[in-house]
A and B are shown apart, each in its own frame.
Chain A
């Protein structure tokens, strides 16, 4: 149970970063940390004690195997996470070219 709690704390760390940091790069890092905590949480849910990796040798009878369904979900989520991170970085670098800063407060005051 303590691993679930630590995953939740990692999620909170990411949320804290998104809410309090002023730098766009650090906000993106916070979002990624939240994503990572969710991946680990899903993988934890699928884990079975004493289970093998979900690759079955067809010549032998199947033993105890880790649940493959959460792993399939996480697999798609990781690639999507990379794409969204890259999209956010593209937005950040566009804003930097325009306002010459990563500070969201300064971008707010400079707008117009």
Chain B
């Protein structure tokens, strides 16, 4: 993939950060507004995919980036499991125990552990989709 014209590159440079910000907003407000880890993770992956499509793959050292995204994926799912078993440390023998204090519903810091779950699911989904896309792109340029 060669990359597109300078117009597309400039517009992408302006917008991809804001798309990333929007994805983070969707993830963080998953317990208040429609959205959550899945939708936000896919939008975050979309911002990176936009950069790769616009700038071409020579712009990034992609092999390294693919390893990093796989690493993030593993870290995300591991933290998710760790939080799920986290009740054991507080001597509560329930898997997926909502162990943080609840707070008042409707605030950003509420719903106990659900926002934290959302963040880790967002990391996992974003890394998974990014590595799927990069695998296809690298496979295409291989031979």
Interface residues of A (CB under 8 A from B): 53, 55, 57-59, 75-76, 78-79, 82-83, 86, 89-90, 93
Q: Which residues of A contact B136 (CB under 8 A)?
A: 89-90, 93
Please tell me which one of the listed residues A53, A55, A86 contacts residue B132 in the complex, with CB atoms under 8 A apart.
A86
Please tell me which one of the listed residues A75, A78, A83, A89 contacts residue B128 in the complex, with CB atoms under 8 A apart.
A83
Interface residues of B (CB under 8 A from A): 32-34, 36, 38, 42, 104-106, 125, 128-129, 132, 135-136, 139
Given contacts A53-B34, A79-B125, 18 further A-B contacts (CB under 8 A): A55-B32, A55-B33, A55-B34, A58-B105, A59-B106, A75-B36, A75-B38, A78-B38, A79-B38, A79-B42, A82-B129, A83-B128, A86-B132, A89-B136, A90-B135, A90-B136, A93-B136, A93-B139
Q: Which residues of A contact B128 (CB under 8 A)?
A: 83
Chain A, interface SS category: helix
Query: How far apart are A65's CB and chain B's nearest CB, in angstroms?
Result: 14
Q: Which residues of B contact A76 (CB under 8 A)?
A: 38
Query: How far apart are B35's CB and chain A's nearest CB, in angstroms?
Result: 10
Task: Name B135's closest neighbour in chain A (CB-CB).
Answer: A90
- What are 20 pairs between A and B in contact, CB < 8 Å? A53-B34, A55-B32, A55-B33, A55-B34, A58-B104, A58-B106, A75-B36, A75-B38, A76-B38, A78-B38, A79-B38, A79-B42, A79-B125, A82-B129, A86-B132, A89-B136, A90-B135, A90-B136, A93-B136, A93-B139
Q: Which residues of B contact A78 (CB under 8 A)?
A: 38
Q: Which residues of A contact B32 (CB under 8 A)?
A: 55
Q: How far is the CA of A89 from the CA of B106 in the complex (A)?
A: 42
Query: How far apart are B93's CB and chain A's nearest CB, in angstroms?
Result: 25
Q: Which residues of B contact A93 (CB under 8 A)?
A: 136, 139
Q: Which residues of B contact A83 (CB under 8 A)?
A: 128, 132
Q: How far is the CA of A78 from the CA of B42 in the complex (A)?
A: 12
Q: How far is the CA of A58 from the CA of B103 in the complex (A)?
A: 12
Q: Which residues of A contact B135 (CB under 8 A)?
A: 90
Task: Name B31's closest neighbour in chain A (CB-CB).
Answer: A55
Q: How far is the CA of A22 from the CA of B129 in the complex (A)?
A: 28
